[in-house]
Amino acid sequence: MGITAGHGPLPLSQERGPGQRKERRGRVTSILKRFTSRWAQRYQKMSIQMVISLSFTTVAVVGMIFMGLSLFWRFSSATGELVAENSQRVLAQVNLNLDSYLRSMMRVSDTMYYRVIKSADLGRDSLTAPMELLYEDDRDSLVSIALFDLRGGLVSAVPLSTLKQPADLTQTGWFLSALQKKENLHFSTPHVQDLFEDPDYHYQWVVSLSRYVQLTRDGATEGGVLLVDMGFAGIEQVCRNVELPNGGYLYLIDGSGELIYHPRQQLIYSGLQEENNQAAARYRDGTHSEEFQGQRRQVTVKTVGYTGWKLVGVVPVEGGFVSDSRQIFLFGLSLLLFSIFLMAFLNFRISAHISDPIRRLEQSIKELEAGREDVEIEEGGCYEVQRLGHSIRSMVSTMRHLMDDIIEQEGQKRRSELEVLQSQINPHFLYNTLDSVIWMTEAGRYEEAIQMVTSLARLFRISLSRGKSIIPLADELEHARHYMNIQQIRYKNKFTTQINALPGTDGLYTMKLIVQPILENAIYHGMASAEDDGLITVTARREGEDLVIDVADNGLGMRPEVAASLLDEDRPEIRTSGSGIGVRNVHRRIRLTFGDRYGLTIFSEPDEGTTVRIRLPALDQDGAAQYQREDVP
């Protein structure tokens, strides 16, 4: 009854199980279809940021999953090999260090035997001095060097030379090993060096190297034993800092399995722990698998040359290693290559679909930056790219209209500024000149009056210049001569004027009405208080690609800092009773037309006079045509 009741529900449960699983699979499939359909619909309306983010994220996640799985399986199969290879590399490095340590002992022994003992006769030679030199060379690692005869008697030793009493050396292991195999070098296991009396009671753990040697005494040959003791701390230091995977460790044994070094040596000697060192002594070099005290371990063995000692590396194995590494490796490699191909293909297709419209739009912008005006801005791609293309097209069109308007406005502004600057002729100059003509006529000075009226007419004719702002240099100098003729008559020849154009200036053009304001400034500020020896000179010359006009006077002059401030835009304008076109006005006109490289420079010293240098580009007829103002209404 109990058995029937206990097993009765199982058939019902087993019958309902497959139906429930089929129903769950149907629900999952339906959910996946709805999810896929929704994302397919949303993709058409997604922003470019969302498309790129989701696409590349999905591809990266899928790729990482594939690569993670392949690496997991590959790692599972290769863990044992990697651990073994790593242990072998570590043991090989430790073996090199031990080999270097042991070679240093052998070098000391060989040097002592072949260079000292063989060349000495004990009947007349002392070995103490060469032994001390040899000891001093390696005192950091050496503990002692000693030479004994076959009866165990001490022949020579350093640094200590007094044997303990009683000391029967002929029964020690290192002594017997040296006598039994006379052709070999013999390394002992670590032991306390207690052969010699130490006044400081300082005894060290050492490794002894012994060998049979032939001694010469009074010409006769006899046998002996050479003992070299080196500190065990060197071996301990080499082995102590070794790290193996999974909490592994390294220990050192001799050929019979006796422990030489173990990180838990004290615990093993006290019986608190055990080590499988006797079995390890029988292992050949390489990696072995063993089970010790219920734990699976990977044991790597490496024999140390010259000694028969063995380095043993122990690494605990957690879980089993995958055995069929070749098949798993091929599978992992195939999976990795397929994942890389799939990711590369999908990324290429998706990125091309998304980025091509942006790339074409970028190319159009670059062409616009290069100065092309007939660039067609494409409006394609995702919604944002389409809007961006449309905005750029509208912006380019607006910018073109604005640039045209700005160019037109700047041209009009420049022409207006030049007109204003050139039209600043004070009517007071005209009034004074006509008043002088009337006065001379009434005084019967008809020739001077005629000369002044003639010069005034020519002055205004050149000033008009048919609306042109750039005139021949000869006309500008002629204008200056007529102006100075008028002023000399008015000032009753208180000063003289010299106007010269040096060779090389023929055919050059200049901006009009730039010399006369400088002359006016020289008259009112340089010649006003002068006597009858005033002199104003105008000299035009060519310097390379520039035209230079110097207007110099020998008037009162001024301090250099005052002269430099005359062109300062922040300095208030100084009005005169002349034409009203100031020096700063001329400077602004020149720079506005030709640029900041050109303009005026003023040189002056008190009581020595003033020179105003006008610098312009050396323009020929073709160059002047670019600056003509015939288009001014």
At 155-207, the pLDDT tens digits run 888 888 788 776 677 888 888 888 888 778 888 888 887 788 777 766 788 88
State how far the Cα of 566 lies from the Cα of 562, in Å rounded to an integer.
7
What pLDDT score was predicted for residue 612? Answer: 93
- Give me the chain's average pLDDT, please: 77
Q: pTM for the complete prediction?
A: 0.41
Mean pLDDT across 133-148: 86
Place of tokens 């030679």: 125
- pLDDT over threshold 80, residue 349: no
Lowest mean pLDDT of 132-141, 144-153, 531-540, 565-574, name the range.
565-574
What pLDDT score was predicted for residue 323? Answer: 42
**Is there a contact between 499 and 552 (Cβ–Cβ < 8 Å)?**
no
Bigger pLDDT: 575 or 399?
399
What pLDDT score was predicted for residue 390? Answer: 74
- pLDDT over threshold 70, residue 414: no
**Is there a contact between 235 and 101 (Cβ–Cβ < 8 Å)?**
yes
Amino acid (one-letter) located at 179: L
Lowest mean pLDDT of 142-151, 418-427, 541-550, 563-572, name the range.
418-427
Per CATH, is 423-625 categorized as 3.30.565.10?
Answer: yes
Bigger pLDDT: 416 or 500?
500
What pLDDT score was predicted for residue 542? Answer: 93
Bigger pLDDT: 99 or 9?
99
State how far the Cα of 411 lies from the Cα of 465, in Å rounded to an integer.
21
Give per-residue pLDDT as tens, 200-238.
766 788 888 899 999 988 888 899 999 998 888 878 888
Q: What is the largest CA-CA distance in the chain?
A: 165
Cα–Cα distance list, 295 to 219, 298, 315, 316 (Å): 64, 10, 10, 7
Mean pLDDT across 64-80: 66
State how far the Cα of 131 lies from the Cα of 618, in Å rounded to an integer.
99
What pLDDT score was predicted for residue 28? Answer: 78
Report the run of H or E that residue 145 belongs to, with start and end: strand 142-149
Task: Please tell me the number of Cα atoms within 13 Å of 497 on its side-chain side.
Answer: 23
State how far the Cα of 257 lies from the Cα of 261, in Å rounded to an integer.
11
Place of tokens 């990266």: 60
State how far the Cα of 66 lies from the Cα of 343, in Å rounded to an integer.
10
Bigger pLDDT: 53 or 176?
176
Question: In this structure, what token pair is assigned to residue 63?
Answer: 């790729």
**Is there a contact between 592 and 414 (Cβ–Cβ < 8 Å)?**
yes
**Is there a contact between 245 and 316 (Cβ–Cβ < 8 Å)?**
no
Q: Percent of the chain at pLDDT above 70?
A: 73
User: Domain residue spans in the chain?
Assistant: 47-320, 340-402, 423-625
What's the gap between Cα 19 and its chain centre? 65
Question: In this structure, what token pair is assigned to residue 78?
Answer: 């290769």
Distance from first CA to last CA of the chain, Å, rounded?
A: 125
State how far the Cα of 630 lies from the Cα of 469, in Å rounded to an integer.
9
- pLDDT over threshold 70, residue 322: no
Question: Model confidence at 6, in pLDDT bands (50, 70, 90)?
Answer: very low
Collapsing DSSP to helix, strand or coil, 259 comes out as strand
CB-based contacts of 86: which residues, under 8 Å, 6+ apart? 244, 245
What pLDDT score was predicted for residue 239? Answer: 83
What pLDDT score was predicted for residue 436? Answer: 74
Place of tokens 């219920």: 294
Question: In this structure, what token pair is assigned to residue 234?
Answer: 């060197």
Bridge partners of 187, per DSSP, are: 209
Bridge partners of 601, per DSSP, are: 613
Q: Quick one: 478 exposed, middle or buried, by C-beta within 10 A (0-12, 13-18, 19+)?
A: middle
What pLDDT score was predicted for residue 558? Answer: 85
What pLDDT score was predicted for residue 520? Answer: 83
- 47-320 belongs to which homologous superfamily? PAS domain (3.30.450.20)
What pLDDT score was predicted for residue 499? Answer: 92
Give per-residue pLDDT as tens, 226-270.
999 888 887 888 888 787 877 788 888 888 888 888 888 888 888
Mean pLDDT across 411-427: 55
Bigger pLDDT: 16 or 614?
614
- pLDDT over threshold 80, residue 282: yes
- pLDDT over threshold 60, residue 423: no
